[in-house]
Structure 1
Amino acid sequence: MATPRRRTLLDDDLLARIHARAPQHDAENTFPHADLADLVAAGYLRAAVPTDLGGAGFTLEELAAEQTRLAAAAPATALAVNMHLVVVAMAALLHADGDARTDPILTDAAAGEVFAFGNSEAGNDLVMFDSGTRAEPDGEGGYRYHGTKIFTSLAPVWTRLATFGRDDSDPDRPVLAHGVVTREGTRTLEDWDTLGMRATQSCSTVLDGAHAPADRIYRVLAPGPNADSFTFALFAAFEILVAAVYAGIAARAVELAVASARRRTSRRTGTTYDADPDIRWKVAEAAMAHDGARLEVLALARDVDERADHGARWFAQLVGLKVRTVETARGVVDLALRVGGGASYAAGSEVNRLYRDVLAGIFHPSDEESAHSTIATSVLGPLG
């Protein structure tokens, strides 16, 4: 039986336009407003919204496949929009399981709101399990947030921010309040000037009383690890879609390596480098590594869609996927750089940009240390 063709919202012409703009946004450190407009027009920001709520109803596997294609065209654009997709995909996973507490995210996304992901904080290595941001109860079930979030991708354009903070009003029972705020009570710092992924414009966001009313508070949890379905949905969407972006970078690096091998001619042999056994080995090594990463991303996304039973090892599978995919992508880009020769080292070369962009992957949660700790616990048990 033939495998059904995977759905897509990103046609080749759209991807070509986005690809053509990427060098300028990288060079000028600017946000790709035209890319976002094209993606909105294509319905891409509604891709994960269920059809009954006005979206395309894409599965996590379908969304991951789309993100690999978008990242191959423009990694920074893909990573920027990824954060909107993570928030919406998280809500869609919960909705599919009958949990309506995040449904306002889905209806807002269907109405055209652009979500950013405002969780990271400088120096907070507990990531989602604690926060230095202060969450003050408003007395009506909502919260006002005070603190600074870093790496807020889509900083120039977001209209909704999924964020969280710590409520210590009962010192014996502190809680973490997760909710959605608008731009009111926030301030964007113009502090994004980085080695790579420049077009994401992931500026810091200062929360100065930003308000999430009761109907926009979707979880109140105790600090520390937990088994709440929200935590799983968020980790699954984040780790898989981040991995998809880096799998897309690897895919483009393989294409560039192939093009370089076919274009360059050896003065020694008079033949193009695609006939050189050493170059062929490098290109094959890159393609083999990328194939494995891409298939693993899609397979684990499908497992989430189908609610496969990985038991207590689910989080180990998710964090391991992200770390392996990023490290694989780094290796593939390095091989493409070597195949391309000295021209690859030029500031304007695409593989040079990929080399800088792929490094951002090491900074996304979960980092290597956290991932290894999670995986060690899953196979060896907890310390002590």
Structure 2
Amino acid sequence: MTPDEILPDTLLERIRGRAAGYDRDNAFFHEDLAELTAAGYLKVFVPVSDGGLGLGLADAAQLQRRLATAAPATALAINMHLVWTGVAHVLAARGDSSLDFILDEAAAGEIFAFGNSEAGNDSVLFDSRTEAAPQPDGSYRFTGRKIFTSLSPAWTRLGIFGKDAAARGGEGELVHGFITRQTPGYEILADWDTLGMRASQSNTTVLDGAVVPAGRIFRKLPVGPNADPLIFAIFACFETLLAAVYTGLGERAFSLGVEAVKRRTSFKNDGRAYDQDPDIRWKIAEAAMAMDALYPQLSRVAHDVDNLADHGTQWFPRLVGLKVRATETARTVVDLAIRVSGGSSYFRGSELERLYRDVLAGMFHPSDDESAHNTVANAWLGPLEQL
């Protein structure tokens, strides 16, 4: 099936038609989620034999790009489910069946969310401020605070991690597992009142002794960077699908800018359309060239993940570079679209006004600009020398 068949124009228009209301009311996209679930969209990575679409990361990225042209906040939240199912798919393709249960449960209708982000943790996946206390039966009790937990009103499975500081001779161990909606010992705060991406409802989740049974603990890793396939799979899916969302957001902003300059007319130039103004044409061309550079980068990285390409130490620079390119390009294109669209785009309720607020979220997703540049510099120049 093609992206147009999975996400037909009629469905996209219904989703686009609800986006402004969700944003205005700071409401979760319940109707969007119901329609996307009915369309099998949450089973993108689930094998066909289990009732899914059986697609890879490249196809999923194009679908998310398309969905984001209608509702970036909806697409961003759906990303979190697709990241976990994508991780299971990427690992399975490399002979690691440790997360096959995610695909099995997604096939049964479970919705996964990503509960790893922590305020002040710039080590991201390589350390944690959450305590993971081992219990005699092999379970772990998690205590900590997770931020930006998208899909908060709807998830049924939440992936979390924390640190067992006493493990490995006191060097610490990072413990990964899943809780369910029914697990006691957590609270979802009603604190998502943000500038943009409002429909994602990425509330804070407070873990207060939430127990993950031994059977739901799926990784124990040393603190610090390591070569475990899980880390690659998370980065590959998270960064690529994130880039896809912001690519779609930029694509939509560009289309709105083109429509605006064809529609607007100049009083001083006898009613000629602004698409005849050389300065306006330059800005449209600038936006088009920026987007044209992004599409092949997104496609290439996603296809390389699917095709098991071996980029060695250059994999992480490619992934974080794609994320930064996509989020920064989208910001540039939204800005250009607003500049050519006139003062109406500044008013509350304008789609470009909403996209302007939504696109700003891109700077906060990992890897941030500073971390990404450090990753790329280390890949090409080696680490900084210690004085």
Q: TM-score range by the shorter chain?
A: over 0.9
Aligned partner of 2:83 among 83, 86, 94: 86
State how 1:1-384 maps to structure 2 within 5 Å: 8-170=5-167, 172-183=170-181, 184=183, 185-269=185-269, 270-384=271-385
Residue segments in structure 1 that go unaligned for 5+ positions in a row: none
1:169 is displaced (CA, Å) by: 3.5
Deviations 1:25-64 (A, max 9, x none): 1011010100000010000111112224432111100000
Identity %: 59
Would the aligned equivalents of 2:161 and 2:177 in 1 still touch at CA under 8 Å? Answer: yes
How far has the Cα of 1:215 moved from its partner?
2.3
Q: CA deviation at 1:217?
A: 1.5
Q: Partners of 1:157 and 1:144 in 2: how far apart? A: 23
Aligned letter for 2:373? H
**Residue identity opposite 2:207 in structure 1:** L
CA distance in 2, matches of 1:36, 1:5: 20
How many residue pairs end up in the alignment?
A: 381
C-alpha spacing 1:53/1:219, structure 2 compared with 1 (3 Å): farther
Matches of 2:314 and 2:8 in 1, distance apart?
37
Misfit runs of 4+, over 3 Å:
4-8
Question: Which ranges in structure 2 are unaligned for 5 or more consecutive residues?
Answer: none
Partners of 2:42 and 2:24 in 1: how far apart?
A: 26
1:262 is displaced (CA, Å) by 0.9
Letter of the aligned partner of 2:273 in structure 1? T
What's the TM-score once normalised by structure 1's chain length? 0.97
Query: How far apart, in 1, do the equivalents of 2:155 and 2:222 lie?
Result: 28
Distance 1:217 1:7, change over 3 A: farther
- TM-fit CA distance, 1:308: 1.4
Contact 2:174 2:221 in 1 (8 A): yes
Cα distance in 2 for partners of 1:294, 1:68 equals 10
Q: How far 1:5 sits from its partner (Å)?
A: 5.7
Q: CA RMSD in A?
A: 1.3
TM-score normalised by the chain length of structure 2: 0.96
**Structure 1 letter corresponding to 2:336:** L
- Mapped to 1, the partners of 2:136 and 2:76 lie a distance apart of 37
Q: Following the alignment from structure 1 to structure 2, what is the Cα–Cα distance between the partners of residues 211 and 181?
A: 8
Mark the CA change 1:8 to 1:63 in structure 2 (over 3 Å): closer, same or farther: farther
Q: C-alpha offsets along residues 236-285 of structure 1, whole Å, 9 cap, x if unaligned?
A: 00000000000000000111001101110111222111122211111121
CA contact (8 A) 1:83 1:115 kept: yes
